[in-house]
Amino acid sequence: LLACPATSSTFSRNPCSCPPSSQPLLQTPPRPTPSAGLRLRGGGKGSVSKWEKVTWKMVQEDEGIGSLEEPVSRSIMDKGKFYQVYQKMLDTLDGKGGYPDVFVDFFFSRDPVNTMHLVFAGEDERSDWMDWAIDEGIHDTIEEIKAGESNKEKKERE
């Protein structure tokens, strides 16, 4: 929008009839603020607004988070299904002990495009998660996944 300095009227294309010395000034529309009743994108009831020292319980209660990245296929997995698969691990992400790896945000961050989705913070975090899942017996090793059978199944077959 352009604003006429003499009349304070706004127009979009045609300049006003003011003399050249008072050419129209570029005017930006006012930006809405959160106090105007708007919520931040991805923030639902009980939303984790500050992504620091986040526990699994906080993620469960946050309606603004609906899915997480599955580490093997890198696909989107519903939060409830993710919990069914990784419950043994997620229940330990309770913040007790004070170490960084007892918080969800050690492994995950919000997807910058879809803020309702959590993605691994990096390849090291994905690898650490996979190693932990293998140790807990939730996943086979990557080699076993690629082969389509576990070492135990392979021995039974032979």
Between 35 and 148, the higher pLDDT residue = 148
The two three-digit tokens of residue 20, written as one number: 């050249």
Residue 37 to residue 8: CA distance in whole angstroms: 28
How high is the mean pLDDT of the chain?
A: 74
pLDDT greater than 90 at residue 30:
no
In tens, the pLDDT along 47-69 reads: 445 668 899 999 999 999 999 99
The CA distances from residue 10 to 14, 19, 22, 51, in Å, are 10, 16, 14, 41
| pLDDT of the residue at 31 | 47
Q: Are 115 and 67 in contact (CB under 8 A)?
A: no
Q: Report the relative pairing of strands 108-110 and 67-69 from DSSP bridges.
A: unpaired
| pLDDT of the residue at 61 | 92
List the one residue out of 77, 59, 60, 56 whose CA is nearest residue 68.
Answer: 77
